[in-house]
């Protein structure tokens, strides 16, 4: 597969500092964009690249930019969604920690393309230590003429501000993020109107996540067509994957789109296989909100072909036998993992993080949590399993924002693929609880911490 694009310079000592970043080609893409290209040419290159949003939805970035209302006299805004709250996902904080100037470079170029003079980085409240890193990088960029008035002597001016949230998962949804940025409670907005027409302060706004914006600089440097040749089909370029769970090498990896999932799990270059040579049981490939897949379906598609790390391959067979690449939060479960216990844990999270605005989500997530807790603790009934499916079905598609779907899909897919485990919890609770206790006592469930602080 191809080499690294975003993480090409990650191991260079001091790359976080402006002088080192600049010495290794940093901000050359800004120079090219502002001095050699028009704003529309920059947008065209991003469209040609086939870049899709790396925050989870995978929507084409160039197409999203094209929706921006350019006829109004109101100011336009670009908001970087750095509220990385998806369980199992930690690649954006990795980027911000090690390569803050790469993000700023992407924001500058994107703002130029969109006609934006003020941009915000909305960062998750728990990432407090990153605020200082980003603000230092912004100060350095200003001192060297890459931010502020008349950047590089051109007519383009831009200011970037870092705004920490208060640690609400719901604020990762772009309209809830905008509400929070305006100083309100982070409740998702009803759409339409969409942010491209009525976003921040009622003005046209584009919201892109950290990885998406960080990729814009390399696209301008190498050209959209060259970037589009990397990857597979409509899944172009590279993708950062946060790998954790029952694997030997947890961490953040940059892969070329189209890498076989089996290679990613077992290659020493990536996850390095499963500890103690245990069997692979299941994988959640795109963060906790996407459907879980058993080993046979994560290694193969419904057609019996190799499952690839791409938007299309992961969705093969839709949700009966497919899932989503999502934000790239790759969670691996070995043979000892209890699907019921893990599903209950995820449901507890979504119940806690629901803003409560929509009845199906507010009531349904709490209902699912109670039923799953009952099953997990040996008090469940066989009818509870179908009840969970029924509740999940009635949440899905019936809420203002996708949090309802995010809560419903893990439950529905877990029962679809591992119904026998739920039945075991009901029929033989004592044996199951004894086994779980034994496994948890000796468990090695790895998470990535690295040397971020």
Q: How far apart are CA 65 and CA 73, in angstroms?
A: 17
Task: Extract the tokens encoding 271.
Answer: 């996850």
Where does the chain hold its CATH 1.20.1440.230 domain(s)? 339-441
Q: How far apart are CA 38 and CA 30, in angstroms?
A: 12
How far apart are the two ends of the chain, measured CA to CA in Å? 31
By the 10 Å C-beta count (0-12 exposed, 13-18 middle, 19+ buried), 35 is classed as exposed
Q: How far apart are CA 62 and CA 282, in angstroms?
A: 34
Q: How far apart are CA 314 and CA 323, in angstroms?
A: 5
- The answer to whether 172 touches 83, Cβ cutoff 8 Å, is yes
Q: How far apart are CA 313 and CA 306, in angstroms?
A: 9
Task: Extract the tokens encoding 176.
Answer: 């809830």
Predicted TM-score of the model (pTM): 0.93
pLDDT of residue 76: 97
**Nearest to 55, CA basis, from 212, 215, 168:** 212
Q: In which residue ranges of the chain is pLDDT below 70? A: 1-2, 440-453
Return the ∠ at Cα 181 (arms to 76 and 94), rounded to 5°. Answer: 95
As beta bridge partners, residue 77 has 118, 205
Task: Extract the tokens encoding 243.
Answer: 């790998």
Owner of token pair 């502020």: 148
By the 10 Å C-beta count (0-12 exposed, 13-18 middle, 19+ buried), 303 is classed as exposed
Task: Extract the tokens encoding 98.
Answer: 């090690």
Backbone angles phi, psi at 313, to 5 degrees: -65, -40
pLDDT of residue 63: 96
18-229 belongs to which homologous superfamily?
NADH-ubiquinone oxidoreductase 51kDa subunit (3.40.50.11540)
Q: How far apart are CA 151 and CA 155, in angstroms?
A: 7
pLDDT of residue 302: 82
Question: Where are the alpha helices (H) located in 115-201, listed in sequence order?
Answer: 128-143, 174-181
- The answer to whether 404 touches 395, Cβ cutoff 8 Å, is yes
Q: How far apart are CA 84 and CA 96, in angstroms?
A: 11
Q: How many residues does the chain have?
A: 453
Backbone angles phi, psi at 272, to 5 degrees: 75, 20
Where does the chain hold its CATH 3.10.20.600 domain(s)? 233-334
Q: Which helix (H) or strand (E) holds 367?
A: helix 359-376
Where does the chain hold its CATH 3.40.50.11540 domain(s)? 18-229
Q: How far apart are CA 317 and CA 330, in angstroms?
A: 19
Exposed e or buried b per residue across 435-451, where buried means at least 16 C-beta atoms within 10 angstroms of its C-beta:
ebeeeeeeeebbebeee
pLDDT of residue 441: 61
233-334 has CATH 3.40.47.10 classification = no
Q: Could you tell me what percent of the chain has a pLDDT over 70?
A: 96
Q: Give the class (CATH, top level) of 339-441.
A: mainly alpha
pLDDT of residue 430: 80
């Amino acid at each position: 597969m191809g080499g690294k694009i975003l993480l090409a310079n990650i191991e260079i000592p001091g790359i976080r500092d402006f002088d080192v970043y600049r010495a290794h080609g940093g901000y050359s893409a800004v120079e090219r964009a502002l001095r050699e290209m028009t704003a529309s040419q920059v947008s065209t290159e991003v469209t040609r690249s086939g870049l899709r949003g790396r925050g989870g939805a995978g929507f084409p970035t160039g197409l999203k930019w094209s929706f921006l209302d350019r006829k109004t006299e109101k100011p336009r805004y670009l908001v970087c969604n750095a509220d990385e709250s998806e369980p199992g996902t930690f690649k954006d904080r990795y980027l911000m920690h090690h390569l803050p100037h790469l993000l700023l470079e992407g924001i500058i170029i994107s703002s130029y393309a969109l006609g934006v003079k003020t941009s915000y980085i909305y960062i998750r409240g728990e990432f407090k230590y990153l605020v200082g890193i980003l603000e230092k990088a912004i100060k350095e960029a200003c001192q060297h003429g890459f931010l502020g008035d008349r950047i590089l002597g051109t007519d383009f001016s831009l200011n970037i501000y870092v705004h920490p949230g208060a640690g609400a998962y719901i604020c990762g949804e772009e309209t809830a993020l905008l509400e929070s940025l305006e100083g309100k409670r982070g409740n998702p907005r009803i759409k339409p109107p969409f942010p491209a027409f009525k976003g921040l302060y009622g003005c046209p706004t584009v919201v892109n996540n950290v990885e998406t914006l960080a990729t814009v600089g390399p696209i301008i440097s190498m050209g959209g067509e060259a970037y589009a040749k990397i990857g597979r089909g409509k899944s172009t370029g590279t993708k950062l994957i946060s790998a954790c769970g029952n694997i030997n090498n947890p961490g953040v990896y940059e892969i070329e789109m189209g890498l076989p999932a089996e290679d990613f799990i077992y290659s020493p270059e990536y996850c390095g296989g499963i500890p103690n040579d245990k069997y692979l049981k299941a994988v959640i490939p795109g963060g906790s909100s996407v459907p879980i897949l058993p080993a046979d379906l994560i290694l193969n598609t419904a057609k019996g072909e190799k499952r690839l790390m791409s938007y299309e391959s992961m969705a093969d067979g839709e949700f009966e036998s497919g899932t989503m690449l999502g934000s790239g939060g790759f969670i691996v479960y070995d043979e000892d993992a209890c699907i019921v216990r893990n599903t209950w844990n995820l449901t507890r999270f979504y119940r806690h993080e629901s803003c409560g605005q929509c009845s199906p989500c507010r009531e349904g997530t709490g209902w699912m949590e109670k039923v799953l807790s009952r099953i997990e603790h040996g008090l469940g009934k066989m009818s509870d399993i179908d009840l969970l499916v029924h509740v999940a079905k009635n949440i899905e598609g019936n809420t203002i924002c996708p949090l309802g779907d995010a809560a419903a899909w893990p439950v529905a897919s877990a029962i679809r693929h591992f119904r026998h485990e739920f039945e075991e919890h009901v029929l033989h609770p004592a044996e199951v609880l004894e086994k779980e206790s034994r496994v948890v006592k000796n468990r090695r469930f790895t998470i990535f911490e690295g040397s971020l602080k």
